[in-house]
Amino acid sequence: MSLSDRDAAELFPIDYTSWRYCIAIKCGVPLTAEYLSERVATLSDTGKEETKRFIKLYGTEWHQRVLVWFQRASTER
C-alpha cells in the first residue's frame, strides 16, 4: 500500500507553518525556550550520535531545513 501525496505531506511538513502545527498541535510538544534551545544545540552538533542518526535517516537537506525551523521558532519566542 503506498502513501498518497496528502499522507506524505502529513508525515513530512512542507514548510515552517506546517512543521510548527505538527510539532505543537498534532504532537502536543510545547515549544518552550528550553526545548527549542536543546533541539537547536543538538541539531547543530553534527558530531552527536543523535544528529548523525537523524542525518542518516532523513538526509542532510532535511536536517538543515528542520534545524532552521527550530532556530526560527526559538527566535520567535
Residue 1 clears pLDDT 50, i.e. is over it? no
Rounded Cα distance between 50 and 10, Å, is 23
* CA–CA distance, 67 with 38 (Å, rounded to integer): 11
pLDDT, mean of residues 13-39: 95
Evaluate if residue 16 carries a pLDDT over 70.
yes
- Check residue 20 and report its DSSP letter: H
- With a threshold of 0.95, does the pTM exceed it? no
pLDDT value at residue 50: 98
Dump pLDDT digits (tens) for 28-75: 999 999 999 999 999 999 999 999 999 999 999 999 999 999 999 999
d(C-alpha 8, C-alpha 34), whole Å: 30
